[in-house]
Structure 1
Amino acid sequence: MNMSHAKRIVPALMLGAMASAALAHSYQTRTLAIAHPWSRETAPGQSVGGGFMTITNKTVVEDRLVSGTSPVAAEVQLHTMTMDGGVMRMRQVDGGIAVPAKGTLELKPGSYHIMFMGLKRPLRQGERFPVTLQFQRAGRVTVLFAVQPITSTGPMEGGHGIH
């Protein structure tokens, strides 16, 4: 292989690696891995939205997701959804949600999730918006939530609907 050919291949490989990292849509701290934060698009005038992601604790000590903030909402709350006698019940979680030691917390539809209360504007498919999560041990971590179609039930591959 001649040197000029190698000079073209290396940048191409670097771009491919960077694109893969961007599509992975994950965040790493010393103690946590946060993967695929996403939300659904909302209708004009809708005042609430949901947020979902997977949080993995890399340490031998439990952590807790205790709160969050975002410029798109007046308030960020932690919620759980359960079925009780065929009736869906959504409740705010007090005291945060445990991220088990050497374990994973999955925030997903129909379970633990984030609620964006008092949306300041509709969430539009294809955009990303910042959310700063507050953990008991890990502190603050800011992530970008990818807004997916209203029919989404999980994180979308290939950039999470971002074009």
Structure 2
Amino acid sequence: MQLTAKADSKLVAVQSPVAGVVEIHEMAMDNNVMKMRALPAGLELPAGKAVELKPGGYHVMLMDLKGQVKAGDTVPLTLVFEGKDGKRETVELQAPARPLNSAGMAAPQGDQGGHGAHKH
């Protein structure tokens, strides 16, 4: 998904009824090693610039799933944005679930695309 803010703001939280925990993550290369980390302060959204959430970059991580999510299912998400003035706004959307290996996320047998330690 792509997020474009009209004014400088940030994505500070994501919620979903299908998961016990939802985090905003970043994957980035560090000394030729792909590392993933949560962004507890949120994801900066500069005014007028599209910020893409996708495999291998910024993404939303659903953990402690309350049931199986299959390719083709629709997952409800509530995105929470915060402006420079501290005001928060929520946007609700329905995201289509895709297979783990879609969009270039080919994972070796038994691997979960670098997410093996997470319960999701």
Give the TM-score of the pair, scaled to structure 2. 0.77
| Aligned residue number for residue 151 of structure 1 | 101
1:149 Cα deviation (Å)? 2.5
Size of the aligned set, in residue pairs, is: 100
Matched, 1:87 2:33: yes
Q: CA-atom RMSD, angstroms?
A: 1.5
1:151 Cα deviation (Å)? 2.1
Matched, 1:141 2:91: yes
Corresponding residue SS for 1:67? strand
Q: Structure 1, residues 28-49: CA drift from partner, whole Å, max 9, x if none?
A: xxxxxxxxxxxxxxxxxxxxxx
Match of 1:73 among 19, 42, 55: 19
Corresponding residue SS for 1:142? strand
Match of 2:4 among 20, 40, 56: 56
1:144 Cα deviation (Å)? 0.5
CA distance in 1, matches of 2:64, 2:50: 29
| Aligned residue number for residue 97 of structure 1 | 43
CA distance in 1, matches of 2:100, 2:25: 19
Quote the sequence identity (%): 40
| Aligned residue number for residue 62 of structure 2 | 116
Give the TM-score of the pair, scaled to structure 1. 0.57
| Aligned residue number for residue 76 of structure 2 | 130
Q: Which consecutive segments of 4 or more residues in structure 1 shift more than 6 A?
A: none
Q: Structure 1, residues 107-150: CA drift from partner, whole Å, max 9, x if none?
A: 11111111111111121111101010100036010110101233
Greater CA radius of gyration, 1 or 2? Answer: 1
The AA in structure 2 aligned to 1:116 is L
Instruction: Extract unaligned runs of 5+ from structure 2.
Output: 105-120
| Aligned residue number for residue 29 of structure 1 | none
CA distance in 1, matches of 2:58, 2:72: 24
